[in-house]
Structure 1
C-alpha cells in the first residue's frame, strides 16, 4: 500500500491561504489581546445598555447597534481564524485547542450580550415599529425587523445564556468531532495500476474517471471506510438529531424545519412548493440518465456511474488554466467582478492543495468587514473542480461586496447565499460552451452542466427529504441504528433515480460524510432555491446584457440588509410567483433537449 496520500496529483500543490490579514499566526499576541479587549468591551456595553433598550429612540438604537456591530467583529475575529486553521489541518491538536479556546471566549461575550436582543424582542409592536420605520434607524432597519420573527421562540435570559455557554460542550463539540473524523478519513482504493491510499476528496474525485473499474473501486473503498467509522458517525448524527428536537421543544417550534425557514426568511409553504416542483420533475432526471446509459454503452447505470465523463479524454485542468478561465469569465461579465476574483488568487485568499487532515469539500468563509473572505477547496485538476472554484468565488464576491452594509447585515440568508455562487458557475459554463470546438465537446460540457444541475437542484431536495425523514424517525422511534438511517437514505434517493440508476447496497452508507446534516440542518434546499432562481436571473441577463449587471451587483452589495423578496424584486423576479420554479426547471429541460439532439447527431 502506498504512503497515506492526500493526493492524487494536483497542480494546486502549494496553493494555500495566507491568514495574516487576520493574525500572523496562532501565537500572535494580537489574538489574545483581541480576546481580552472583546471581553472588556462586552462588559462596558452591558453596563451602558442593560435594562435601557426600551428607552432608546431610533438614533440611539442606531448608535448602539453600530457599537454592537464593531464589538461582534472583534469577538468573532479570533474564532474565524481558529476555524480556518482547523479546516486547513484538523490533525494538529494545537489547532483544535485553539478552536476550543476561542469558542469559549466567544460564547462568554455572546452570553453577556444576549440581553440586548432579548430586551428588544420583549417590546410590543407599537414600540418597535416606529423605531424600525424611522429613517434615523438607517441601515439597521431590516436587522431589527428580521429579529422580531424569532420573538415567539426566545427563552428567558438565564436559560439563553446557559444554553450559549453549554453549547461548546454540547452540540458544537459533536460537530467538531465529526470534522475531526471525516477530515482524517483514508480510503484504500484498489486501482488497476495498484493500490493507493487516498483521502476522501481524492477518492470522490475518482467517481469522475472514465474507467468504470476505477469508479467502482473508489466507491467500494469509500464505503468500506465509512462503514468502519459508522458507529461513531451514527452516534454523532443521533445526538444532533435529538439536540435539534430538544431545542425545538424548548422554543415551541412547530416542526424541525422552522428554525431554518425563519433564518432564511421563507415560509414553509414556499419551501413545500419548491420541493413539490422538483419532485414532480424527477422524470427529466431519469430521461437524462437513460440517454447517458446509452452514450456510455452500458446495460445498466449504477450509482458510481452517474458522474462518468462522456468523452474518454484527458481533460485535465491545471490550477493556472483554471485561474485564467475563471478570472476571464468574471471579468467579461463585469470588470469589477474580475478584479475581486483576481485578488483572491493574487493575495492567497484560497487554499486549494490536497493535504491529509484538511477538511473535504469546499467553502467560502466570510470574514470581518475590515478583512475579506477566505476560500477552501480540494483541487484535483478536473473540469468539475473549475466549476467548484467558480462557485466559491461567487460566494467570495458576494461576501466581499456585502462588507459595505456592515458586519451584522453582510451575512445573507442561505437561500440568497447560493445565488451568487451558482450565477458564477453559469458565467463560466457559458464561456466554456461558447468556446467549444465541436459537437462532442459541446455534448460533454452540456452533460457536465446537466449533472451539476441535478446535484444542485434534485439531489439537494433528496437530502432535504432525507433530513425530514431522519428527524421524524428520531422523534418517533428513538435512537436510530446505522441500518435504519441507511433505509431512510435509500428511500429518499429512490424517487429521483427511479429504475434507471441502480443504487447498490454500498450506497446506504453515503449519508454519513455529508457535513450539512451535522453543521447546518436543512441547509440543502437553499441550493435548489438558489439554482432555480439563478436560472431565471441568468435568462434575464442573456436578454438584457450589460444593463443587467449594475442591478445584480447592487443586489450582492446589499448582503442581508433586505429580505430575499426585496433583494430580487428590482431584477424583475417575484419570489411569490409559483411559476418561478417551473421556469428554472424548464431551462434544465432545454439543456437535456439539446444534449439529446447532439447525441442523435452522433448516432
Structure 2
C-alpha cells in the first residue's frame, strides 16, 4: 500500500509566490472593478474608432494604439491572476471557476475590440506602408507591420467575434481539462525503501536518481498512471488536433505549422533548415550515449537511464544554495541582471515548493507592464533544478526589462523568448564549471550540460517531428487511437536514439503529459532555435567579455518591438546564415570531445 504523500520533500517548502501585486486575493473587489472598467472602456474605444481606422494618420494611429495597449493590459490583469491561481492549485474548484469567469469577461472585451485589427488589415499596402514608415508611428511601427503578415488568414468580423467567444467552451476548455488532469496525477512508485505515492514532478525527478532500480520504478509508475488516464488524454489531443485543422481550413493556411511560424516571424524554409541540421547531427547524440553506457558500467542504456548521474555522491542543492549560485552568476554577468534576479527571490515572485494540485514543469508568466513576471517551478533539490531556475529567471529578466516597450510589444516571438532563458543557463553552467577543480566533478557537470543540450535541441526537434506526424495523421486518418499516437511517438524518437538507447514499450505513452502539444502547437522548435542561437551568442560573449553585455541587455529591453533578425543583428548574428546552426551544433560536439577526454583520463 502506498503512502499518501504526493509531493515529496523539498528544501523549497514554503517558497510560494505572492500575487498581491495583481490582487489581494480572489475576493478583492478591485478584480471585479477592473473587469467592469475594462468593459466600459472597450465600449468607449469602439464608439470612438469603429469605422474610422482608415482615417487615422500615423500620429492618430499611435495614440489609438497607446489607448488600446492600456485597455488590453487592464482587461488581461484579472485573467493573468486567475491563471496563476489555477496553476498553483488546480484542485480547488474556486480557482477553476475564476479562470472561467475572467476568461469569459476577457473574451467579451477582445471580441469588441477585434474591429480595430480587422479594419487595419483590410487597408491596402499603399495606405499602410506610409503610416508604418512615418516617424510619428513611433514605437508601434513593428507592431503594425507584424500584424500584416496575418492579413491573408483573417475572417469576416462576425466570424472572428464568434470564434473568440466560442473558444472558452471549445479549445480553451479542453486545455484547462488537460491541466486539471495532469496536475492531479499521482504515481505509485515501488521504491527499494517501500512504496510511495508521488505527483508527476516528483516522479520525473527520480529519473535522475543514481540507483537504476529507482529510475526503473519511477518510469514504470509514470507509465501506469499515464495509461490509466490515456482515454481522456487521447481524446483531448484528438479534439485539439482537429480544432487546429479546422482553424487552418477556415483561415486558408497552407500547413499545420504556418500559424506558429507567422507568430515567430520565421519562414518554413528556416525551420526546415534548423530541423535538418539537428537531424543530421543525431550521430553525436548516439556517440555520447555510448560513452555514458560505458561510464555507468551498463551493457545497455534504456530510456529511463538517459538522465542517470555519472557520480553517485550526494549532489543535493538546497533552495538557499540555488538562490546564491543563480544570483551570483547573473550578477557577475551584469550587476543590473543580478538585481532583477534578487527581486524575484526577495519579493516572492517565485513559486517553487512541491504541492498536490500544482501544475507540473516550470514557466515564467509575464505580467502587466505596471507589475512584473511570476515564475513557477517544482524544486526537487537536484542540480538540474538549479538550471531550471536559471532558465526561468532568464525569461523573467527578459520580461521585466521589456516592460519599457509597452504591453503590446513586450512579448517576443517564441524563438527569441527562449534566447534569454538558455543564455541564463549558460551563465550559471560556466560559473559552476570554472569553479570545479576535480576531474570527476567536471565530467559530471559537462555530462549534465550535454544532456540538457540534447533535451533542448535534439529532443525538441523530435517533439516537433512528432507533432507534424500527429497533425498529418489526424487529417488523413481521422481520430487517432492511443496506440496509433504511441506508434507515431516512437517513430519520431527512434532516429535520435538509434540503436544505442533502447526505448521500452512503456515509453509509448510518454507523449501524453507534455503540455506544449496542448497549449501551444509547434512551440518546441523554438527551444532548438534559441539554444543554438545562444551558443553563438555565448561564444561572442566569451570573446568580447563585458563589451558584449550592453548590446545583449538592449536586445532584451526591445522585447518584441523588432523582428528576430533585427534584434540579433547588432550582436553580430545573421539569422539567414545557414552556418549558424552548424556552429552551435559544433560547440555541443566540443563539449562531448572534452567529456570523452576526461573519461579517458579516468580509465
TM bin (shorter chain): over 0.9
Q: Distance in 1 between matches of 2:444 and 2:135?
A: 53
Using the TM superposition, give the Cα deviation of residue 57 of structure 1 relative to its aligned residue in structure 2, in angstroms: 0.1
Q: CA RMSD in A?
A: 0.4
The answer as to whether partners of 2:3 and 2:195 remain within 8 angstroms in 1 is no
The answer as to whether partners of 1:401 and 1:556 remain within 8 angstroms in 2 is yes
Where 1:197 maps in the other structure, the secondary structure is strand
Q: Distance in 2 between matches of 1:506 and 1:434?
A: 39
Using the TM superposition, give the Cα deviation of residue 9 of structure 1 relative to its aligned residue in structure 2, in angstroms: 1.2
Q: Distance in 2 between matches of 1:6 and 1:149?
A: 47
Using the TM superposition, give the Cα deviation of residue 437 of structure 1 relative to its aligned residue in structure 2, in angstroms: 2.4
Deviations 1:39-74 (A, max 9, x none): 000000000000000000000000000000000000
The answer as to whether partners of 2:208 and 2:308 remain within 8 angstroms in 1 is yes
Q: Distance in 1 between matches of 2:138 and 2:89?
A: 42
The answer as to whether partners of 2:87 and 2:359 remain within 8 angstroms in 1 is yes
Deviations 1:64-87 (A, max 9, x none): 000000000000000000000000
Q: Distance in 1 between matches of 2:471 and 2:387?
A: 32
Matched, 1:474 2:482: no
Q: Distance in 2 between matches of 1:367 and 1:322?
A: 24
Where 2:297 maps in the other structure, the secondary structure is coil
Using the TM superposition, give the Cα deviation of residue 6 of structure 1 relative to its aligned residue in structure 2, in angstroms: 3.5
The answer as to whether partners of 2:132 and 2:145 remain within 8 angstroms in 1 is yes
Structure 2 runs not aligned, ≥5 long: none
The answer as to whether partners of 1:327 and 1:342 remain within 8 angstroms in 2 is yes
Q: Distance in 2 between matches of 1:375 and 1:4?
A: 28
The answer as to whether partners of 1:457 and 1:527 remain within 8 angstroms in 2 is yes
Where 1:37 maps in the other structure, the secondary structure is helix
List aligned pairs for 1:414-433, cutoff 5 A: 414-433=414-433
The answer as to whether partners of 2:327 and 2:342 remain within 8 angstroms in 1 is yes
Using the TM superposition, give the Cα deviation of residue 3 of structure 1 relative to its aligned residue in structure 2, in angstroms: 3.8
The answer as to whether partners of 1:4 and 1:186 remain within 8 angstroms in 2 is no
Where 2:312 maps in the other structure, the secondary structure is coil
Matched, 1:210 2:210: yes
Where 1:190 maps in the other structure, the secondary structure is strand
Where 1:4 maps in the other structure, the secondary structure is coil
Deviations 1:478-504 (A, max 9, x none): 000000000000000000000000000
Where 2:364 maps in the other structure, the secondary structure is strand
Q: Distance in 2 between matches of 1:229 and 1:477?
A: 23
Deviations 1:400-432 (A, max 9, x none): 000000000000000000000000000000000
Deviations 1:225-271 (A, max 9, x none): 00000000000000000000000000000000000000000000000
List aligned pairs for 1:240-259, cutoff 5 A: 240-259=240-259
Matched, 1:196 2:196: yes
Q: Distance in 2 between matches of 1:289 and 1:222?
A: 23
Q: Distance in 1 between matches of 2:201 and 2:481?
A: 26
Using the TM superposition, give the Cα deviation of residue 2 of structure 1 relative to its aligned residue in structure 2, in angstroms: 4.3
Q: Distance in 2 between matches of 1:6 and 1:518?
A: 24
The answer as to whether partners of 1:31 and 1:78 remain within 8 angstroms in 2 is yes
Where 2:496 maps in the other structure, the secondary structure is helix
Deviations 1:354-408 (A, max 9, x none): 0000000000000000000000000000000000000000000000000000000
Deviations 1:168-207 (A, max 9, x none): 0000000000000000000000000000000000000000
Q: Distance in 1 between matches of 2:6 and 2:49?
A: 51
Where 1:198 maps in the other structure, the secondary structure is strand
Using the TM superposition, give the Cα deviation of residue 8 of structure 1 relative to its aligned residue in structure 2, in angstroms: 1.9
How many residues are matched? 603
Q: Distance in 2 between matches of 1:490 and 1:466?
A: 9
The answer as to whether partners of 1:401 and 1:557 remain within 8 angstroms in 2 is yes
Q: Distance in 2 between matches of 1:9 and 1:198?
A: 10
List aligned pairs for 1:100-119, cutoff 5 A: 100-119=100-119
Q: Which residue of 2 aligns with 1:266?
A: 266
Q: Distance in 2 between matches of 1:312 and 1:22?
A: 44
Q: Distance in 2 between matches of 1:27 and 1:8?
A: 31
Q: Distance in 2 between matches of 1:163 and 1:3?
A: 46
Q: Which residue of 1 aligns with 2:526?
A: 526
Structure 2 length-normalised TM: 1.00
Q: Distance in 1 between matches of 2:431 and 2:288?
A: 23
Structure 1 length-normalised TM: 1.00
The answer as to whether partners of 1:171 and 1:243 remain within 8 angstroms in 2 is yes
Q: Distance in 1 between matches of 2:602 and 2:8?
A: 34
Where 1:11 maps in the other structure, the secondary structure is coil
Deviations 1:106-126 (A, max 9, x none): 000000000000000000000
The answer as to whether partners of 2:293 and 2:300 remain within 8 angstroms in 1 is yes
Where 2:340 maps in the other structure, the secondary structure is helix
The answer as to whether partners of 1:390 and 1:428 remain within 8 angstroms in 2 is yes
Where 1:375 maps in the other structure, the secondary structure is strand
The answer as to whether partners of 2:179 and 2:359 remain within 8 angstroms in 1 is yes
Q: Which residue of 1 aligns with 2:122?
A: 122
Using the TM superposition, give the Cα deviation of residue 323 of structure 1 relative to its aligned residue in structure 2, in angstroms: 0.0
Q: Distance in 2 between matches of 1:483 and 1:398?
A: 41
The answer as to whether partners of 1:323 and 1:345 remain within 8 angstroms in 2 is yes
Using the TM superposition, give the Cα deviation of residue 5 of structure 1 relative to its aligned residue in structure 2, in angstroms: 2.5
Where 2:561 maps in the other structure, the secondary structure is coil
The answer as to whether partners of 1:422 and 1:530 remain within 8 angstroms in 2 is yes
The answer as to whether partners of 2:8 and 2:198 remain within 8 angstroms in 1 is yes
Where 2:298 maps in the other structure, the secondary structure is coil
Q: Distance in 2 between matches of 1:505 and 1:248?
A: 34
The answer as to whether partners of 1:418 and 1:526 remain within 8 angstroms in 2 is yes
Using the TM superposition, give the Cα deviation of residue 7 of structure 1 relative to its aligned residue in structure 2, in angstroms: 2.3
Where 1:15 maps in the other structure, the secondary structure is coil
Using the TM superposition, give the Cα deviation of residue 4 of structure 1 relative to its aligned residue in structure 2, in angstroms: 2.9
Deviations 1:106-159 (A, max 9, x none): 000000000000000000000000000000000000000000000000000000
The answer as to whether partners of 1:175 and 1:519 remain within 8 angstroms in 2 is yes
The answer as to whether partners of 2:2 and 2:188 remain within 8 angstroms in 1 is no
